[in-house]
A and B are shown apart, each in its own frame.
Chain A
Amino acid sequence: MEDRIARFEQAILPHLDAAYNLARWLTRDVHDAEDLVQEACLRALKSFGGFRGGNARPWLLTIVRNTCYTWMQQNRSRELTTVFDEEIHSGETNECNAETLIMRGADVKQLTKALEELPIEYREAIVLRELEGLSYREIADVADVPIGTVMSRLARARKRLQQSLTGTMRKEVQLGL
């Protein structure tokens, strides 16, 4: 039995940061994230027999994601309401100026706020893509949705981030910050 735990730790613990990162962005709370990561690791140990090798990170992240969603279903179900599909309008709004972003340089605080304001499915897609660098295929596996859904969630998430960031920063410019 100890051998199994040693093998598990060797395969899984290197991805502990990824697990915590995802849990923290999904729940937006550091303490909940810690508890949920621990629970997810115990569940992962139980299903370790079914792990056929390969990349352990998406495997672990799937368990973390499911653990978080299950917990949120019971404790924060309001945050899980589905977002209505928005149409992607052709053409960017003229107000979206890339130079603004470069010049002002959004900081971590603004980015965090913008990310946390996203609906949870969009946030999840951005975290898995931008922070974890997973491929669309891997994101589709972790989130258990088709690749097309991954693509549209990413597109809408980025659109919203842009709008939210430039909106924030325009306000700061106006206020002389």
Chain B
Amino acid sequence: MPKIRRTESKPARERSSYAGNSKSGTGPELRCEDVQEVIDAFIDGESNGVTTLKIEKHTRACALCSVALRNREVLRSVIQAHAQRGPYARGAYSLYQEAPFDLRRRIRSALRAEGISETNHSLRWRWITASSALALVVIFIFSLALFSQRRSAENALAQEIVSSHVRSFMGNHQTDVLSSDQGILTAWFNRRLDFAPSVENLADHEFSLQGGRIEYLRNRPVAVLVYRRQEHFIDLFTWPSGNYSNATDRNMARQGYNLVYWATSGMDCWAVSDLDINELQEFAQTFQEEYSSESPR
């Protein structure tokens, strides 16, 4: 389809003054192609003042574009004429389709149903979050209480052990039985206690067994084995584990003394000494190794 020459519609000087994109600013006049692109914005009232002026000017002079403009306007008015709202806007009477009568009603009840389930949902969630938060707090407080109770019980115990250890240096009460013989000591304890503490000779590791005594801790009699390395004494307190004994090994320090705790075969063992903590741990380690290397009883 041949393009229709502009010479029929425009003065000669306008043709030669055109250069480049003329859509912005107050530049050169619009070409027909440009008008085609902005004609819709023009009739929709969406083109800016400058472009509007240019289009009006162009279409006054250009028969082709003024036909195009008129066609657009007619199309628009035809559509608008058939886009009535109101009583005619239903079925085949109007392009504008209004919602069916019962759709509004159905949507309203759907909204309410959604609102109720949202409320339930959020209420239920609030209840769940609140009660689980409360439960967590209770658990936390309880375990904190339990923990601190155990801690304080353990602290008290450690205190008693250290006191007993220190007391043993004053006066003649460090050992009630002076022997480094395992058999003699075992028999001695057996006669006096309702349990048999394990007695290990650790002379090979420079912990020499001195003897033993009985102490009273937490209202019960406990066995104490006394060891010595150079000028340091180690008291090993041992008794059957009760219901509340701690399963994990631990270290402590009290009043300048170190303590090491472990549990073996249902027995709680506390070693206390002024030895530094590494050597005391070595003692604990050695004792446990010697114990487990013995033939099963």
Binding site for B on A (CB under 8 A): 1-2, 4-5, 8-9, 13, 16-17, 19-21, 24-25, 30, 33-34, 37-38, 41-42, 45, 88-93, 96, 98, 101-102, 105-109, 111-112, 115, 126, 129-131, 135-136, 151-152, 154-155, 158, 161-162, 165
> Given A1-B119, A16-B99, A42–B114 Cβ distance below 8 Å?
yes
Q: Are A109 and B99 in contact (CB under 8 A)?
A: no
Binding site for A on B (CB under 8 A): 1, 3-4, 31-33, 36-41, 44, 46, 64-65, 67-68, 70-72, 74-76, 78-80, 82-83, 85, 89, 92-100, 103-104, 106-108, 110-112, 114-116, 118-119
Q: Are B103 and A130 in contact (CB under 8 A)?
A: no
Distance, CA A109 to CA B70, complexed state (A): 23
- Chain B residues with Cβ below 8 Å from A105 are 78
Q: Are A92 and B111 in contact (CB under 8 A)?
A: no
- Chain A residues with Cβ below 8 Å from B68 are 91-92
Q: Are A45 and B111 in contact (CB under 8 A)?
A: yes
Q: Are B83 and A131 in contact (CB under 8 A)?
A: yes
Q: Are A98 and B71 in contact (CB under 8 A)?
A: yes
Q: Are A16 and B104 in contact (CB under 8 A)?
A: yes
- Chain A residues with Cβ below 8 Å from B36 are 88-91, 155
- Chain A residues with Cβ below 8 Å from B3 are 90-91
Q: Are A111 and B111 in contact (CB under 8 A)?
A: no
Prevailing SS type, chain A contact patch = helix
Distance, CA A154 to CA B76, complexed state (A): 11
> Given A96-B71, A131-B96, A9–B79 Cβ distance below 8 Å?
no
Q: Are B103 and A34 in contact (CB under 8 A)?
A: yes
B40 in complex: contacting residue of A16, A108, A115, A154, CB < 8 Å? A154
- Chain B residues with Cβ below 8 Å from A98 are 67, 70-71, 74
Distance, CA A92 to CA B33, complexed state (A): 11
> Given A38-B103, A93-B1, A111–B40 Cβ distance below 8 Å?
no
Q: Are A21 and B97 in contact (CB under 8 A)?
A: yes
Q: Are B110 and A107 in contact (CB under 8 A)?
A: no
Q: Are B110 and A41 in contact (CB under 8 A)?
A: yes
A5 in complex: contacting residue of B46, B100, B103, B112, CB < 8 Å? B112
Can you list 14 contacts pairing A with B, beta carbon distance less than 8 Å? A5-B111, A30-B100, A41-B111, A42-B110, A45-B115, A90-B3, A109-B92, A112-B95, A126-B79, A136-B44, A152-B37, A155-B37, A161-B79, A162-B71
Q: Are A92 and B83 in contact (CB under 8 A)?
A: no
- Chain B residues with Cβ below 8 Å from A111 are 78-79, 82, 95
- Chain B residues with Cβ below 8 Å from A102 are 74
What is the distance, in angstroms, from B68's C-beta to the closest C-beta of chain A?
4
Q: Which residue of B lies closest to A34 (CB)?
A: B103
- Chain B residues with Cβ below 8 Å from A24 are 97
What is the distance, in angstroms, from B206's C-beta to the closest C-beta of chain A?
76
A136 in complex: contacting residue of B46, B83, B96, CB < 8 Å? B46
Q: Are B108 and A9 in contact (CB under 8 A)?
A: yes
Distance, CA A166 to CA B102, complexed state (A): 38
Distance, CA A103 to CA B131, complexed state (A): 76
- Chain A residues with Cβ below 8 Å from B118 are 1
- Chain A residues with Cβ below 8 Å from B96 are 17, 21, 131
- Chain A residues with Cβ below 8 Å from B74 are 98, 101-102
B76 in complex: contacting residue of A89, A106, A130, CB < 8 Å? A130
Q: Which residue of A lies closest to B98 (CB)?
A: A17
> Given A9-B108, A131-B83, A151-B40, A19–B99 Cβ distance below 8 Å?
yes
